[in-house]
Amino acid sequence: MTDLIDPIFLTQESVRCQSVTPRDDGALETLGQPLSRMGFQIHRLRFEEDGYDTIDNIFARLGTTGRHLCYMGHTDVVPVGDENDWTHPPFSGTVKDGILYGRGVADMKAANCAFVAAVSRFLDENPDFSESISLLITGDEEGKSVNGTVKVLEWMRTQKQMPDVALVGEPSNTNEMGETIRVGRRGSLNGTLMVKGIQGHSAYPERSDNPIPPLIRLLTALIEEKLDDGTDDFPPSHIVISSIDVGNPAPNVIPAKAEALFNIRFNDHWTSRTLESRLRSILDQVTPNYTMTVWSNAESFVTSDHPWRDLVINSIERISGQKPKPDTGGGTSDARFIAGDCPVIEYGLLNATIHKVNEHASIKDIETLTATYTEILRSYFA
């Protein structure tokens, strides 16, 4: 008989670990200890790479045969800002009036703890369970995402530990539980656009070459371009100009160069490579005298028309009483790193307070999420 784990108490323990990326402060071990007691084999994986923070991660697996379901989460959190702005200390795990407060409660320590508690309930119901459940927990989701999930997945592939399906506990709901699941995410492509000129005095523009007007024309061409009309699962791709800089504080000096930063959230009509090609074709029609550098660590992905998607939707509906809407919005998540290996779905708590002062989740919602994860385990291994 398995000892049942209280998801509220475990979440409080987790929140009290001040695990602001890349610090761990015992957050991984808070999850590792109850998993170890349930019979999971714990692999503590530390990765380091020159120029990036050294990151601790764990991969915990129960069983080695049969169907394999993997939960993916992170214990690292963003900084709290000014602690004086918080009603309750951000790392206290305070519960008041049915609400649990603390940095990382919603994103996503409570989800991690809810899954661990769900596993304890499932194993208590199924003492002869003989298939495979695993957890990939990283300390680098809010950071550079270099020495976290990516490296753990590389290790899992070499160790033949890859799952059949994956569930990510990112906060997916806006107003109430059972509202939304993430079945995919848009890709993200970043870029710099630069035009060089010749510096000079503004009184003698004929002796200079002002790079600002051609940069403006290039940016205008980008933002006026309709990249696509959206797809069955995604809204239209869009570009956002996030910075324009000439490094020039003087009003009477023509600058030597002008630079802009941009970001494009793109759907599955594109890959980062085909999108870059399209951007260059647009810009080349304006002028060849520019330099563009792009980078992307997030391709678009979607889990569509798959039994795993339907199973999660049906499990959520049985617990919450409403059928969740499949969605591909929001930013990027670690789900993108495993999407090429197996179907992946994201479902967690409400995202209304993530990264904000007084981040919190209701006790009721944490219990509902625990019951939902338990139902997903029951349904998948039925």
Known catalytic residues are 76, 141
Phi-psi region at 83: left, alpha or beta (left = phi > 0; alpha = psi -120 to 50): alpha
The residue to which tokens 């991660």 are assigned: 57
Query: What SS3 string covers the chain?
Result: CCCCCCHHHHHHHHHCCCCECCCCCCHHHHHHHHHHHCCCEEEEEEECCCCCCCEEEEEEEECCCCCEEEEEEECCECCCCCHHHCCCCCCCCCEECCEEECCCHHHHHHHHHHHHHHHHHHHHHCCCCCCEEEEEEECCCCCCCCCCHHHHHHHHHHCCCCCCEEEECCCCECCCCCCEEECEECEEEEEEEEEECECEECCCHHHCECCHHHHHHHHHHHHHCCCCCCCCCCCCCEEEEEEEECCCCCCCEECCEEEEEEEEEECCCCCHHHHHHHHHHHHHCCCCCCEEEEEEEECCEECCCCHHHHHHHHHHHHHHCCCCEEECCCCCCCHHHHCCCCCEEECCCECCCCCCCCCEEEHHHHHHHHHHHHHHHHHHCC
The answer to whether residues 329 and 173 touch, using CB atoms and an 8 Å cutoff, is no
Amino acid at 368: T
Q: Which residues pair with 99 in a beta bridge?
A: 96, 362
